[in-house]
A and B are shown apart, each in its own frame.
Chain A
Amino acid sequence: MSLLEVKELCVAFGARRVVDRVSFSLDAGGKLALVGESGSGKTVTALSLLRLLDAARLSGEVIFGGKDVLQCSAAELHELRGSDIAMIFQEPMTALNPVYTVGDQIVETLQLHKGLRGAPAHAAAVAALHRVGIADPDLRVHSYPHQLSGGQRQRALIAMALACDPKLLIADEPTTALDLTVRMQILELLDRLRSDTGMALLLITHDLNLVRRFADHVAVMERGRLVEQGITDQVMRRPQHPYTRKLIDSRPARALVSAGEGLIAAGRGISVEFPKRLPGIIGWFRSGKFMAVQDIDFELSPGETLGVIGESGSGKTTLALAVLGLVAAHGDIRIGGTPWSVGPGERRALRRRIQVVFQDPLSSLSPRLTLEAIVGEGLEIHEPALDAAQRRERVIEALYDVGLTENDAAEPLLHRYPHEFSGGQRQRIAIARALIVRPQLLVLDEPTSALDVTVQKLVLQLLGGLQRKYGLSYILVTHDVDVVRAMAHRVMVMKDGRVIESGPLEQVLGNSKSGYTRRLVEAGVA
């Protein structure tokens, strides 16, 4: 008999049904991955297994260890949560209480479910931290969440979840908030703990690479329905459902033309420093320097894409802002031969040549402006001679360019506000805003990280098409090796503000000299 048996589970919020007749089962010690894009209902399904959603109406059956969770009394449910079924979440910082030490929080779980108190509880907490591979567990047990790194926090969270030896661990996007190289370690840890303790693991994720590596079984969800499930290998190799097929080949294909001759932008010895508070009394009188970017050179030809990869905190976004002239930087940055140090008028003209697309399409569009005002703003600045009708024509043209239309017409969209568009559409709007002034160079700061995989592919295809059409150069800042592989001519690997390695794509990703690059590449690819 399987440990967990979900039959015909439906979840509804009011009249809206977000999970529709989902059935799957999980054996003791098994590894099941629930895969889907945002809004597919995978997290809602997971939370429903523990009845953690107060506002939801549930129907169907969730049989855990012979008992129907949906029929459990409050007391039985309390017993179940945390002790038989444990859960870990995406964002370890918010899942831990910042005012208690990690040890306190583990001890609390132990008290609640095992009745341990005092020294034995403390010892058990240390052991739990030790088990998840945290160095110096007897010291770390006294640490507050903010004193730990992201990976350590997730480990502490896992230690908390596992402190009571649950039979089932639900991991909801456990690695999404973590750096690439840490992701692998956490997943390996989860897998090791699973085989040590014999618990079952339900992994909720949008990342097929993780599924391919870590799950025995996979269930694919689309819009609240379970469209396909089976043994991971078989599903991956011979997907039956069209949606699964779409997910699997959502890895962007490479379609690049070779770069042109000449130089569109160049930087020599770029450094960016931020003031840092010095410790002790000396900090009252002067501030130290934190070098976010240190001594970086780059060159970019027309029609060329330079991929900048690195983990969070490696300074890649700061470098992008420096190239855009949005943070003060040392060194020499020239766009088309003109440095940023020219007077205000020329600087303004220079801005036209280099534009930017940001990561989060939610915050990159002003929520109170209409589409026409957002996209048309650049024209008001750089082509003030245009009248309103001409400007509108150009806006519509730009919307066609980025493929944002409704029933093949762009006009009806002009008076809409950003909240009326989906993430992928908003990213297209951001690209249109940048393109309308006809720049030569586009800085793409994680242009697809906030998007679903299938939408990612479409946006990358769009960017590739625009590059071929207009001969644009891109500086592509990302942590996603797949994206770089699809888009970049040359690659620059950054770590701690410095360039570790740079060169043509094949050389850097194919046979890197640096161990760091190899780790990055390995972590990013299945």
Chain B
Amino acid sequence: MNVPTIAGSASAPLAARPVSRQSPTRRAWRRFRSNRLGYASLLLFAVLFGISLLAEVLSNDKPLVVRYDGQWYFPLLQSLPETTFGGDFETPADYLDPLIRENFAKPGNFAWFPPNRYHHSTINYFSEAPSPAPPDAGNLLGTDDRGRDLLARLLYGFRISVVFALLVSAMCAAFGVFYGAIQGYFAGWTDIAMERFSEIWSAMPTLYMLIIFSSLFAPSFWLLVALLSIFGWLGIAAYVRAEFLKNRTLDYVRAARALGQSDVVIMRRHILPNSLTPVVTLVPFEMAGAIGALTSLDFLGLGVPPDTPSLGELLNQGKSNLDAWWISLSTFGVLVVTLLLLILIGDALRDALDPRKLLQGDEQ
């Protein structure tokens, strides 16, 4: 790409290397996509997560649409008493009840059920097999020790794990970037003071704190998100600090300071975009870590409240019911696939954002 006024700069190579017209971010994305394994992992992960977000319509004990005695009902959105469908009680309808099923089968009536007829909390009181039941046509992956459908529990459990991981990584990234940026940009005494604080903070025994907190407060999803976030940002802050320390001495930052640009704008516009590589690269690994942490806390019974579908709780069940192989095996499978996909995505991201490749595309 020679410009005439530079008199055909003599430094161009023999066969001019094509120079990409795209922004560095676009080029990184293109490199990420060219890594087939990583890109496929990202797509698969997105599809799985998308499916799990639709869990309510895919796996539920309520029909999606019911036509009964000439009227339309949407049990997913409405709470209907059993009497609506010819039952005897005013209690909410149990759609697994053979009586109600029979009523739906009558001519003129019709019910459209989700593909998997169980919610994660559904206990099938009409099942004939003792719990935990092995896989059969009704419960594709069998049931757990309380007779709840395993496929439904895994689907909802996967969703909770991924949402949890996303929230924790987002909070860690936000706080870590903020902390590390201030530390690295102002350096000197600010850096020393903040570094000492994060050292003290990192010396706190996380698991011990979690146990104390879970006995102080009622265990809940949001409490866990908060707790894991306030202990998880240290790693990201350290990377961002190092990037800021390095980038603040670069000439383009000096040039911006010489222009009289304010510190906030310099940090946001000049340094931050060039310091996010470690954050983006770390996020999938951070997510894998958060899923692992949630699973282990649930396994120990310190995690989410008992009724919540959770992979850790299922693993615990698998441990107590060793002969019910379908519990541990399928939970293990879900965990392995999730963590593997995240790590493959992270690997591909790391390659795509490699700074040595990022600044290429031009001879120097």
Where the two chains meet, the residues of A that have a C-beta atom closer than 8 Å to any C-beta of B are: 15-18, 20, 37-41, 222-225, 243, 246, 321, 324, 326, 347-349, 351-352, 354-356, 358-360, 362-370, 374, 377-378, 381-382, 403-408, 416-417, 419-425, 428, 430, 433-434, 437, 452, 454-455, 458
For residue A370, which residues in chain B have a CB less than 8 angstroms away from its CB? 23
A223 to B8, CA, bound (A): 12
Q: Are A362 and B364 in contact (CB under 8 A)?
A: yes
For residue A339, give the distance in angstroms from its CB to the closest CB of chain B: 16
Q: Are A437 and B9 in contact (CB under 8 A)?
A: no
For residue A377, give the distance in angstroms from its CB to the closest CB of chain B: 6
Q: Are A437 and B5 in contact (CB under 8 A)?
A: no
Residues 1-32 of B contacting A (Cβ, < 8 Å): 1-7, 9-15, 17, 19-25
Task: Give A454's nearest chain B residue, CB to CB.
Answer: B10
For residue B29, give the distance in angstroms from its CB to the closest CB of chain A: 13
User: Given contacts A364-B255, A405-B5, are A381 and B261 in contact (CB under 8 A)?
Assistant: yes
User: Given contacts A367-B274, A368-B273, are A224 and B6 in contact (CB under 8 A)?
Assistant: no
A222 to B13, CA, bound (A): 9
Task: Give B358's nearest chain A residue, CB to CB.
Answer: A367
For residue A448, give the distance in angstroms from its CB to the closest CB of chain B: 13
A64 to B344, CA, bound (A): 49
B138 CB–A CB distance under 8 Å? no
What are 18 A-to-B residue pairs whose CB atoms are below 8 Å? A38-B364, A39-B12, A39-B363, A41-B13, A224-B13, A246-B10, A348-B260, A351-B258, A364-B250, A381-B261, A382-B260, A407-B4, A421-B1, A421-B362, A422-B2, A425-B3, A454-B10, A458-B6
For residue B164, give the distance in angstroms from its CB to the closest CB of chain A: 32
User: Given contacts A351-B259, A377-B256, A377-B261, are A243 and B14 in contact (CB under 8 A)?
Assistant: no
Q: Are B11 and A452 in contact (CB under 8 A)?
A: yes
User: Given contacts A37-B11, A224-B13, are A422 and B359 in contact (CB under 8 A)?
Assistant: no
Q: Are B20 and A433 in contact (CB under 8 A)?
A: no
Interface centre among A364, A406, A419 (most CB of B within 10 A): A419
Instruction: Give the top 4 A-B pairs by smallest Cβ distance, nearest first.
Output: A351-B260, A364-B251, A224-B14, A358-B251
Q: Are A420 and B20 in contact (CB under 8 A)?
A: yes
Interface residue from B24, B254, B362 paired with A358 (Cβ < 8 Å): B254
For residue B361, which residues in chain A have a CB less than 8 angstroms away from its CB? 419-420
Q: Are B14 and A223 in contact (CB under 8 A)?
A: yes
B222 CB–A CB distance under 8 Å? no
B33 CB–A CB distance under 8 Å? no
Interface residue from B6, B15, B254, B257 paired with A455 (Cβ < 8 Å): B6
Contact with A along B140-162 (1 / 0, CB 8 A): 00000000000000000000000
Q: Are B252 and A366 in contact (CB under 8 A)?
A: yes
User: Given contacts A348-B260, A419-B19, are A38 and B4 in contact (CB under 8 A)?
Assistant: no
A359 to B255, CA, bound (A): 12
Q: Are B23 and A41 in contact (CB under 8 A)?
A: no
For residue B319, which residues in chain A have a CB less than 8 angstroms away from its CB? none
Q: Are B259 and A355 in contact (CB under 8 A)?
A: yes
B350 CB–A CB distance under 8 Å? no
Q: Are A423 and B256 in contact (CB under 8 A)?
A: no
Interface residue from B5, B11, B257, B259 paired with A403 (Cβ < 8 Å): B5
For residue A362, which residues in chain B have a CB less than 8 angstroms away from its CB? 359, 364
B101 CB–A CB distance under 8 Å? no
Interface centre among B7, B19, B259, B261 (most CB of A within 10 A): B259
For residue A342, give the distance in angstroms from its CB to the closest CB of chain B: 13
A138 to B283, CA, bound (A): 54
B36 CB–A CB distance under 8 Å? no
Q: Are B274 and A326 in contact (CB under 8 A)?
A: no
Residues 229-276 of B contacting A (Cβ, < 8 Å): 250-252, 254-261, 269-270, 273-274
Task: Give B14's nearest chain A residue, CB to CB.
Answer: A224
Q: Are A364 and B252 in contact (CB under 8 A)?
A: yes
For residue B21, give the distance in angstroms from its CB to the closest CB of chain A: 7
Task: Give B13's nearest chain A residue, CB to CB.
Answer: A39
For residue B11, give the distance in angstroms from its CB to the closest CB of chain A: 5
For residue B274, which residues in chain A have a CB less than 8 angstroms away from its CB? 366-368
For residue A227, give the distance in angstroms from its CB to the closest CB of chain B: 11
User: Given contacts A38-B364, A39-B363, are A404 and B3 in contact (CB under 8 A)?
Assistant: yes
Given contacts A367-B274, A417-B23, A454-B7, 19 further A-B contacts (CB under 8 A): A16-B14, A16-B15, A37-B10, A41-B13, A41-B14, A321-B254, A326-B257, A347-B260, A349-B260, A364-B252, A366-B270, A367-B24, A374-B252, A378-B259, A417-B22, A419-B19, A421-B362, A422-B12, A423-B364
For residue B363, which residues in chain A have a CB less than 8 angstroms away from its CB? 38-39, 422
Q: Are B4 and A17 in contact (CB under 8 A)?
A: no
For residue A442, give the distance in angstroms from its CB to the closest CB of chain B: 10
For residue A94, give the distance in angstroms from its CB to the closest CB of chain B: 15
A37 to B270, CA, bound (A): 32
User: Given contacts A419-B362, A455-B6, are A352 and B254 in contact (CB under 8 A)?
Assistant: no
A40 to B10, CA, bound (A): 9
For residue A349, which residues in chain B have a CB less than 8 angstroms away from its CB? 260
Q: Are B255 and A243 in contact (CB under 8 A)?
A: no
Interface residue from B17, B21, B258 paired with A356 (Cβ < 8 Å): B258
For residue B192, give the distance in angstroms from its CB to the closest CB of chain A: 13
Task: Give B3's nearest chain A residue, CB to CB.
Answer: A406
